[in-house]
Chains A and B, each alone.
Chain A
Amino acid sequence: MVLGTYKEVVTARSTDKAIQKIAQDGGIVSALFCYALEEKLIDGAVVAGPGKDFWKPEPMVAQTADEILAAAGTKYTFSPNVLMLKKAVRQYGLEKVGTVAIPCQTMGIRKMQSYPFGVRFLADKIALLTGIFCMENFPFASLQTFISEKMGVSPELVEKMDIGKGKFWVYTADDVLSIPLKETHGYEQSGCKVCLDYVAELSDVATGSVGSPDGWSTVFTRTDAGETIFKAAVEAGVIETKAVDTGKFGLEMLTKLATQKKEKAMKEIDRRKDMGLPVPFKASSEKEDPLANV
C-alpha cells in the first residue's frame, strides 16, 4: 500500500479566510493546530517558523494562533523540528505537544517513541503529529541557486514557493516565476534518495496538495488520535471537506507519485547495498512488499 495505512482520505481546506490567504494549499496544518490550541488538545506546537534569513526556517514553539499563522506555508529546506520537541517540553513546560513533520522527521519521532533509549518523559507528550507529503528536501544553498541564479530574483522579494505541475514556482508581489522541476534535480539532499515514504505514513494526520484542486489539500487520517482531532475540527466547522477525487488528478496521481518515489528509492537502496554502503532499510530481495517503508 503505497499511501500507507489510513482510516479515511478526503479533500479538505480551512474555512478561515485569513488562513486560506496565507496557507500553502488548504491550510490544514494551520487550521488543525489553531483548533487544537483553542480546544486545549495541545498546549503548543513545534512548527517551522521564520528564521533570520529569508526562507531559512527555524524550528519554533508556537503557543498562540498568531504564532501558528506566522509559520504558515511550506519551506523547501531544513527545519529540524524534532530538535525543538525536547525544548517544548523541558523549557516551555508543555504537556501536550503538536508538531508538523515531513516523513523522515516523523520517522525520527516515532522511533523515539517506540525506543526512547535516552529520551526522558517526551514520548507520551506528542499529542498531534501532522505529517506533510514530501518528495525531497533541498539544502538552503540549492534554494538560493534556483531563486537567485536560475530565476534572477532576490530571495527577500519571494512571498511564496511551491512545487506543482512539474515546476518549481516562486511568487513575488507582482510576478510568478517557475523553472522545470528537472532543473532542480541534483540539488536535493542525498539522504532523501533512500526515503520510502511520500505521504507521511506514520503521522497521525497526513496532508499535502497532490490529489486535490488548488486551494485544497488531500488529508489522510491514520491513527485513532489523528482521526479524533480531525473529525472534531470538521465538526466544529474550522475545516470543510469533500470527497477526494479518485481519478487522474486525484488519488491516481497521488498513488503514481508515491509509487515513483518508492521505486526510485528502492533502486538506490539496492545500489548502495551492492556497493557495501550502510542503509537502514531492507534490500528489495529481503522483503515481501518491495515498496514497504521497512
Chain B
Amino acid sequence: MLARIKQFLGIGAKPKEVPKEEVEKVAEEKAKPRIGYVHLSGCTGDIMSLSENYDILAELLTNMVDIVYGQTLADVWEMPEMDLVLVEGSVCLQDEHSVKELKEAREKAGLVVAFGSCAATGCFTRYSRGGQQARPDHESFVPIADLVKVDCAIPGCPPSPEIIAKTVVAVINGDMDYLQPMIDLAGYTEACGCDLQYKVVNQALCIGCGTCAMACQTRALTMTDGRPELTSARCVKCGICYVQCPRSWWPADRINQDLGL
C-alpha cells in the first residue's frame, strides 16, 4: 500500500543525475494526478465540505489535479483509469449499480479513499432496515471496505474543510507521515459512540478531557462526572469521537512539528 501511495506521489524513486533541461521537460510532461469521484449512498456533504476550501480550490482544480470521473464533475460515461478515487457514501448491497461502480473503481484506481464517514464506517446509513420508497428492497448499507480494499479513510460527517485541505497538501508534498493515521483508519469500519466506553473508559484510558464531546458532530455526547455519556438515539456512528480522542492514537511527532517544538 505504502509503495502504491509513494508511486502515486512520485516519491521514493531512485534519485539519479539528470541534466537540468531534462528535469524541466519531465516536469512539464509529468501528468497531473487523475482523480475520480464516486458518489454512492451519502448526502453529498463530504464534497460540499471539500468545496468550502475556496482559497485553494481554484489552484487545485486548475493546476494540480485532473478530475477525470464524477457524476457532476466530469462529462464522461465510461470510468477511465485513475490515480486516485474518492468514494463518498456507503455501498448498498441490493443496488447492483453501486456495487458494480465500486468494484470498477477499485480496478481502475491506484488508490481508493473512503471519503467521509458513510464510506469509511457506514455512518448514518448503518441504521437502514429497508422498507422505504422508492426501493423498499434497498436495505443493507455497508462501508466500502466491506467489499473492496480501501487504502485510506478520511472519516467525518462531514470531514472538516481543514482536514481535506491538510490531506491534499500532504498528498502533494508526499508527506507520508501525515497520511499514516488515515491509512490506519481504513481498518476502522465498525464505529459507534459506544467505542468510547469499550475502547477508552473500559480500558482505563479515559481522562475526562471532553475532546470526544467537543468533536461529536450531532451532540450525542455529554460529559457526566468526567466521563462521556452517549445519547445513542443521536449517534450517527461516524466514529469521530473515538478518532479525535487523545487516547485512541497519539500523533506526537506531528503535533510537535506543527507547534514548532
Q: A195, B159: Cβ atoms under 8 Å?
A: no
Please classify how large the interface on chain A is, using the bins under 10, 10 to 19, 20 to 34, 35 or more. Answer: 35 or more
Q: A112, B247: Cβ atoms under 8 Å?
A: no
Q: A193, B214: Cβ atoms under 8 Å?
A: no
Q: B245, A108: Cβ atoms under 8 Å?
A: yes
- What CA separation (Å) do A193 and B204 show in the bound complex? 9
Q: Which of A109, A112, A121, A278 contacts B203 (CB 8 A)?
A: A278
Task: Determine the chain A residues whose CB is within 8 A of the CB of B199 once the complex forms.
Answer: 278
> Which of chain A's residues has its CB closest to B201's CB?
A191
Knowing A114-B258, A189-B208, A191-B247, the reply to whether A82 touches B214 (Cβ < 8 A) is yes
What 0/1 readout, one digit per residue, does chain B (201-239) give for beta carbons within 8 Å of chain A? Answer: 001111111110111010000010110000000000010
- What CA separation (Å) do A194 and B250 show in the bound complex? 13
B150 to chain A, nearest CB (A): 16
Q: B163, A115: Cβ atoms under 8 Å?
A: yes
Task: Determine the chain B residues whose CB is within 8 A of the CB of A111 once the complex forms.
Answer: 211, 244, 246, 250-251, 255
Q: B250, A119: Cβ atoms under 8 Å?
A: no
Task: Determine the chain B residues whose CB is within 8 A of the CB of A109 once the complex forms.
Answer: 211
Q: B210, A59: Cβ atoms under 8 Å?
A: yes
Q: B210, A117: Cβ atoms under 8 Å?
A: no
What 0/1 readout, one digit per residue, does chain B (173-208) give for beta carbons within 8 Å of chain A? Answer: 000000001000000000000000001000111111
- What CA separation (Å) do A119 and B49 show in the bound complex? 12
Q: A118, B159: Cβ atoms under 8 Å?
A: yes
Q: A82, B157: Cβ atoms under 8 Å?
A: no
> Which of chain A's residues has its CB closest to B117's CB?
A118
Q: B261, A223: Cβ atoms under 8 Å?
A: yes
- What CA separation (Å) do A86 and B211 show in the bound complex? 10
> Which of chain B's residues has its CB closest to A82's CB?
B210
- What CA separation (Å) do A85 and B212 show in the bound complex? 12
Instruction: Determine which residue in B117, B199, B211, B253 has the highest number of CB atoms from chain A within 10 A of its CB, and name it.
Output: B211
Knowing A83-B214, A107-B246, A108-B211, the reply to whether A116 touches B162 (Cβ < 8 A) is yes
Knowing A112-B244, A117-B244, A223-B261, the reply to whether A281 touches B214 (Cβ < 8 A) is no
Instruction: Determine which residue in A4, A81, A104, A224 has the highest number of CB atoms from chain B within 10 A of its CB, and name it.
Output: A104
Q: B261, A117: Cβ atoms under 8 Å?
A: no
- What CA separation (Å) do A110 and B217 show in the bound complex? 19
Q: A139, B204: Cβ atoms under 8 Å?
A: no
Query: Chain B: how many interface residues by the 8 Å CB criterion?
Result: 50
Q: B246, A108: Cβ atoms under 8 Å?
A: yes
Q: Which of B160, B162, B208 contacts A80 (CB 8 A)?
A: B208
A153 in the interface, Cβ–Cβ < 8 Å? no
Knowing A118-B240, A224-B260, the reply to whether A104 touches B209 (Cβ < 8 A) is yes
- What CA separation (Å) do A231 and B249 show in the bound complex? 34
Q: B226, A139: Cβ atoms under 8 Å?
A: yes
- What CA separation (Å) do A188 and B211 show in the bound complex? 20
A287 to chain B, nearest CB (A): 10
Q: B214, A78: Cβ atoms under 8 Å?
A: no
- What CA separation (Å) do A223 and B205 show in the bound complex? 28
Instruction: Identify which of residues 280-294 in chain A touch chain B, using a CB-to-CB cut-off of 8 Å.
Output: 280-281, 292-294
A120 in the interface, Cβ–Cβ < 8 Å? yes
Q: B215, A118: Cβ atoms under 8 Å?
A: yes
Task: Determine the chain A residues whose CB is within 8 A of the CB of B155 once the complex forms.
Answer: 117-118
- What CA separation (Å) do A80 and B217 show in the bound complex? 17
Task: Determine the chain B residues whose CB is within 8 A of the CB of A140 once the complex forms.
Answer: 225-226
Knowing A118-B244, A119-B214, A194-B205, the reply to whether A222 touches B250 (Cβ < 8 A) is no
Q: B156, A117: Cβ atoms under 8 Å?
A: yes
Instruction: Identify which of residues 33-77 in chain A touch chain B, using a CB-to-CB cut-off of 8 Å.
Output: 59, 77
Q: A280, B205: Cβ atoms under 8 Å?
A: yes
A2 in the interface, Cβ–Cβ < 8 Å? no
Instruction: Determine which residue in B156, B250, B253, B260 has the highest number of CB atoms from chain A within 10 A of its CB, and name it.
Output: B250
Task: Determine the chain A residues whose CB is within 8 A of the CB of B261 once the complex forms.
Answer: 4-5, 201-202, 222-223
Knowing A105-B209, A189-B208, the reply to whether A114 touches B251 (Cβ < 8 A) is yes
- What CA separation (Å) do A279 and B160 show in the bound complex? 27
- 27 A-B pairs (CB sep. < 8 Å): A4-B261, A59-B210, A80-B213, A80-B223, A83-B210, A105-B210, A107-B250, A108-B210, A111-B211, A111-B251, A112-B215, A112-B244, A114-B251, A115-B166, A115-B243, A116-B162, A117-B154, A117-B156, A117-B243, A118-B160, A118-B215, A118-B244, A119-B215, A137-B207, A189-B208, A202-B261, A223-B260
